[in-house]
């Protein structure tokens, strides 16, 4: 069986119905996801600080920028906020993505965005920004309509290609770039939300693979091609769950007894 399918079978075997079920199976994942997602935009983030925030709610011996701590505390808050919505399979909506963005970006907007441009966490951008090499991004006046159209597409989809649908969601969301800041972390959280409400395992986009990630997103920006991003996310999911899958499959193998050695 293809590795991804084995991971999918393992995930579905967990029978996740309630928030404590998510906690049980995502205990380590939630910390690693927060660390790697944060590192893509902020290289001051460390695994140790992230782990302390998730486990203890405090950080010792920190001398970096306050924004770094806010970002990781916000990741923890957002996970707690989404648990019940994931298990209830609440569909995508404008209200949901605004709540996700607010949870992830509270206290992180810089002075220019907050004072000069009047931008706020949990609100769509008020100004037009040129983003990336290929100058993507919906005009501010079009953002809400574009997001509604995207979510209507996603909520109406009833096919079996969930990872490919999630790939399209992520590519299109990042292309729209609906916020003044925090589009990346919001998009990656939304990607996993969609996967989980559709019975698929969440994944980590590892910071060491950032260049390949950005290149795959650019392929969509330039050519509306999602295959490179789909292949990348497929690989990242397998990388995310490789050790868990190996441990699960090894546990089903009968260990050798004394008679095998003497």
Whether 262 has a pLDDT exceeding 70, the answer reads no
Q: State the pLDDT at residue 136.
A: 72
Compute the mean pLDDT over every residue in the chain, rounded to the nearest whole number.
93
Which band of pLDDT confidence, cut at 50, 70 and 90, is reported for residue 67?
very high
Whether 56 has a pLDDT exceeding 90, the answer reads yes
Whether 259 has a pLDDT exceeding 80, the answer reads no
Query: What average pLDDT does the segment 22-37 reach?
Result: 97
Q: Closest Cα to residue 186, out of 241, 113, 88, 106? A: 106
Query: What average pLDDT does the segment 28-56 reach?
Result: 95
Residues shown for the chain: 262
pLDDT digit string (tens) for 217-254?
Answer: 999 999 999 999 999 999 999 999 999 999 999 886 55
CB 193 within 8 A of CB 86: yes
Q: Where are the domains of the chain?
A: 3-243
Q: State the pLDDT at residue 188.
A: 98
Q: State the pLDDT at residue 1.
A: 53
Q: State the pLDDT at residue 129.
A: 82
Other residues' Cβ atoms within 10 Å of the Cβ of residue 88: 11
Q: Which of 135-139, 159-163, 242-246 has the lowest mean pLDDT?
A: 135-139
Which band of pLDDT confidence, cut at 50, 70 and 90, is reported for residue 257?
low
Whether 256 has a pLDDT exceeding 80, the answer reads no
Which band of pLDDT confidence, cut at 50, 70 and 90, is reported for residue 258?
low
Query: What average pLDDT does the segment 72-92 reach?
Result: 97
Q: State the pLDDT at residue 226.
A: 97
Q: In whole angstroms, what is the distance from residue 181 CA to residue 184 CA?
A: 8
Q: How many degrees, rounded to 5, is the angle at CA 183 between CA 181 and CA 189?
A: 135
Q: In whole angstroms, what is the distance from residue 74 CA to residue 99 CA?
A: 12
Query: What average pLDDT does the segment 52-60 reach?
Result: 92
Superfamily of domain 3-243: Fido-like domain (1.10.3290.10)
């Amino acid at each position: 069986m293809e590795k991804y399918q084995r991971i999918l079978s393992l995930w579905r075997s967990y029978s996740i119905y309630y928030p404590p079920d998510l906690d049980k199976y995502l205990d380590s994942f939630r910390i690693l996801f927060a660390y790697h997602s944060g590192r893509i935009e902020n290289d001051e983030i460390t695994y140790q600080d992230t782990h302390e925030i998730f486990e203890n709610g405090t950080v010792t011996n920190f001398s970096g920028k306050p924004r770094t701590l806010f970002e990781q505390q916000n990741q923890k808050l957002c996970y707690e906020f989404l648990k019940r919505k994931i298990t209830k399979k609440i569909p995508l909506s404008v209200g949901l993505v605004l709540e996700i963005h607010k949870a992830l970006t509270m206290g992180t907007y810089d002075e220019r965005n907050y004072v000069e441009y009047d931008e706020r966490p949990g609100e769509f951008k008020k100004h037009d920004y040129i983003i990336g090499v290929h100058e993507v991004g919906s005009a501010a006046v079009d953002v809400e309509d574009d997001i509604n159209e995207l979510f209507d597409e996603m909520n109406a989809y009833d096919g079996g290609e969930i990872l490919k649908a999630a790939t399209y969601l992520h590519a299109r969301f990042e292309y729209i770039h609906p916020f003044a800041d925090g589009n990346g972390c919001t998009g990656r959280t939304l990607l996993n939300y969609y996967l989980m409400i559709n019975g698929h395992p969440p994944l980590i986009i590892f910071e060491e693979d950032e260049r390949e990630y950005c290149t795959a997103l650019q392929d969509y920006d330039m050519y509306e091609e999602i295959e490179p991003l789909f292949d990348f996310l497929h690989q990242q999911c397998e990388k995310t769950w490789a050790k868990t899958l190996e441990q699960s499959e090894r546990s089903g193998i009968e260990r050798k007894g004394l008679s095998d050695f003497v």
